[in-house]
Structure 1
Amino acid sequence: MARLYHLARLNDRWFRLDEPLVSAFVEQWRPKTHTFHMPFGECTITLQDVAFQLGLPVDGRYVSGCLTDFQIYIEGGRPAWEIFGECPAGADEETVRRFSRAYIMMLLGTQLFSDKSGNRIHIRWLPYIARLEKMGTYSWGSATLAWLYAVHCTV
């Protein structure tokens, strides 16, 4: 429903992150030209690259806006991982949807829109998770590419 299945499969079993290689690649970023300067020339990451490599939808509604009235998305003020650590066996449909939302929130915050902390997820993604049935209508690939460029241009 969320159209993030391919992203969910990019975990330690199928995808290993070579941190030194990523760091070396990031060092080649040039903010003035928005390109990576490599020994063979300049290159950039395109929307087609994001769609192909991450399997994210690039057509659909844009991901934008800010979160207001966030108190409607919080249950009891407990940390999310305390609430959603493991889906109980025999859970009803609503419980499974809650655990799915928590898992997708983790995917968004750690694989698509991560920050330097590596352990925090921005609250701006909550409205999208709250409407699970509409998640597949967004252009997550476009949002990911925009985030990548925004993060690199502020470094």
Structure 2
Amino acid sequence: MEEQKLEEELHSMNEEMDDAEPRQRRKKKEKVVDPEPQDDYPGSPHETCLLWKYHLHVAKKAGDGEWCGKLKCINNGKKIEAMHDNDTRPIMAARWWENKLQGTDLGWLKDTSYNMIDHGLICVFVERWYEETSSFHLPFGEMTITLDDVASLLHIPINGMLLSHGSISRGETVELMETYLGSSTFDARRELKKNKRVHCRFGYLEEIFKERLKEQRDLAAEYGVTEEVERLRDQIVRIYLLYLVSITIFTDKSQWVVDVVYLKYFRDLDFVSGFSWRVAALAHLYKELNNAARWNCSQVKGYLTLLQT
């Protein structure tokens, strides 16, 4: 009876997930009309052949005496504390954990985030950022964030393959979660059903992270380091890395879900350090600054530690 009930629930989830995207496409969003470009901007750039998007910039609205509203800074730095509580910290002090994490070259990220963000400082930088030049226009000249800055602050790899991914289907998401996180089909589909997209919750990752840690500890204590223990440890490191990059270098507007697509880069832990994470971190921040500098944007995302440091 229980198996039959489980199959019925899975079938119901499949039908709802198949219908979700058409329903979302039918929703109509209110169209936002961008201001038209001008030939001249009094008190602002007179020659706009370089700053050709100036009419969309927040500085243009400020120059016209219009208040665009308070800019919300998205920062998930405090979330890392949920993975390092009193129960998990002793287990994570084990040598196997340090070796596996250091082997990915991403372990530094857990120590490089600010819990508190200087809202005023971030807003000032955003107002002076220009997409066309990828730099801040300051009274003394132009300034930008470089790959060398990222290297000095984050110590993550620059050499290697570039990260390249598009959107993935729900079926691919379920498969990734089953294979590399150890989620059951039912749990993976239920997680997607809750989020209505190819994401899983931070809370879900925290939950299975702690479960896997205790499970491998108990198995290792009873049977030693078996193949099953190694498989669980690899899952633990993947869960942690997915969580870590989502609250740091790939911070986005969602403060409670994680994009599962990044799991593709953690399939083989031996190759994680072979990707150019430094380039990806900087490119993501540039993209978010481009969005935040627009006149109709209400929030700034990305790894704001790079901007504040």
What range describes the TM-score normalised by the shorter chain of this pair? Answer: 0.7 to 0.9
Could you tell me which amino acid in structure 2 is paired with residue 8 of structure 1?
K
Deviations 1:27-50 (A, max 9, x none): 321223221123332111111111
- Measured after TM superposition, the shift of residue 7 of structure 1 is 1.4
Matched, 1:70 2:173: yes
> Residues 103, 23 of structure 1: CA spacing in aligned structure 2 closer, same or farther, 3 A cutoff?
farther
Cross-structure match for 2:118: 19
- Measured after TM superposition, the shift of residue 151 of structure 1 is 1.9
Cross-structure match for 1:32: 132
Matched, 1:83 2:213: no
Q: Determine helix, strand or coil for the equivalent of 1:115.
A: coil
Aligned pairs for 1:114-133 (under 5 A) are 114-133=251-270
Greater RCO (Cα-Cα under 8 Å, separation 6 or more): 1
Cross-structure match for 2:280: 143
> Residues 94, 142 of structure 1: CA spacing in aligned structure 2 closer, same or farther, 3 A cutoff?
same
Aligned pairs for 1:32-51 (under 5 A) are 32-51=132-151
The answer to which structure has the higher helix fraction is 2
Deviations 1:108-152 (A, max 9, x none): 111001112233322220111222221011110011111111222
Could you tell me which amino acid in structure 2 is paired with residue 53 of structure 1?
L
Identity of aligned residues (%): 31
- Measured after TM superposition, the shift of residue 101 of structure 1 is 1.0
67-76 vs 125-134, which deviates more?
Answer: 67-76
Task: Give ranges in structure 2 of 5+ residues lacking alignment.
Answer: 1-102, 178-182, 192-203, 219-228, 293-309
* Contact 1:114/1:121 (<8 A) preserved: no
Q: Determine helix, strand or coil for the equivalent of 1:65.
A: coil
Distance 1:16 1:40 in 2: 30
Could you tell me which amino acid in structure 1 is paired with residue 209 of structure 2?
F
Task: Give ranges in structure 1 of 5+ residues lacking alignment.
Answer: none
Could you tell me which amino acid in structure 1 is paired with residue 239 of structure 2?
A
Distance 1:146 1:49 in 2: 13
- Measured after TM superposition, the shift of residue 16 of structure 1 is 4.4
* Contact 2:157/2:275 (<8 A) preserved: yes
> Residues 120, 24 of structure 1: CA spacing in aligned structure 2 closer, same or farther, 3 A cutoff?
farther
If you compute each CA radius of gyration, which structure gives the higher value, 1 or 2?
A: 2
Q: Determine helix, strand or coil for the equivalent of 2:257.
A: coil
Deviations 1:75-113 (A, max 9, x none): 221533331236217252222221211111111111001
Cross-structure match for 2:107: 5
Distance 1:18 1:73 in 2: 34
Matched, 1:105 2:245: no
114-123 vs 128-137, which deviates more?
Answer: 114-123
Could you tell me which amino acid in structure 1 is paired with residue 174 of structure 2?
Q
Distance 2:267 2:137 in 1: 40
